[in-house]
Amino acid sequence: MSTREAAIARRTRETDISLKLVVDGSGQNSISTGVGFADHMLDLMCFWGGFDLELECKGDLEIDSHHTLEDIALCLGQALSEALGDRKGINRVGFAKVPMDEALAEVVIDLSGRPYLVFDDELLPAVIAGDEKDVWREFFKSFALRAGMNLHIKLEYGRNGHHLLEAVFKALGMALGHAVVLGREGVSSTKGSIDR
């Protein structure tokens, strides 16, 4: 079996990104986004998903982290989609519910090729690790779009923004790890193809 991996390079006036994703990895990561909190969240996601991620980003952080996080999510989603190829044999659907101290988050995904995001971020505080909470909605939206993923994130309860997002990223990693497992015959679809 060939290794499921992809490398993406993206350069704009706002960001310069180099990314390599190995789906069948061991959770070994080298991540430098310029946003320490994002490094931590992406490391958690890949560790719990069993992915290897090499990521370097230089972004216009003198403005804020919006462009950096959005563009990283676009590259990450594109890499996941390319690494999965025609998606034959994958479970396709994955889900996980993860606690982090007082917080509990549930993530359910379908790598259907049809992007959609459901994310009620009402429980998140307005500012997390120095950034407005909306940057995370943009991250998840961009990731789902480029990955061709139906992504549902539910924050059950919690108060601490770090804990809430940590639970989300761990659950996202676990859900992805389950969804990409090979073992089915052909495409996981009753219509015989996955929309892309």
Identify the band that residue 183 occupies on the pLDDT scale cut at 50, 70 and 90: confident
* pLDDT exceeds 60 at position 188: no
Q: List the helix and strand counts (H, then E) for the chain.
A: 4, 10
CATH topology of domain 5-179: Ribosomal Protein S5; domain 2 (3.30.230)
- Determine the pLDDT at residue 140: 98
Place of tokens 């230089």: 58
Prediction pTM value: 0.93
Instruction: Tell me the pLDDT band of 3, cut-offs 50, 70 and 90.
Output: confident
Q: Which residues pair with 93 in a beta bridge?
A: 110
Comparing 39 with 3, which gets the higher pLDDT?
Answer: 39
pLDDT at 185 over 80: no
Q: How many CB atoms lie within 10 A of CB 133?
A: 17
CA–CA separation, 105 and 112 (whole Å): 22
Question: What is d(CA 31, CA 53) in angstroms, rounded to the nearest whole number?
Answer: 7
Helix (H, G, I), strand (E, B) or coil at 19: strand
b/e map 29-59, b = 16+ CB within 10 Å: bebebbbebbbbbbbbbbbbbbbbbebebeb
**Cα–Cα distance measured from residue 92 to residue 18, given in angstroms and rounded to the nearest whole number:** 27
The predicted-structure confidence for 65-97, as pLDDT tens digits, reads as follows 999 999 999 999 999 999 999 999 999 999 999
Length of the chain: 196
Q: Of 194, 188, 80, 96, which Cα lies nearest the Cα of 144?
A: 80
Distances (CA, A) of 156 to 121, 122, 189: 10, 11, 30
What pLDDT does residue 139 have?
98
SS3 37: helix
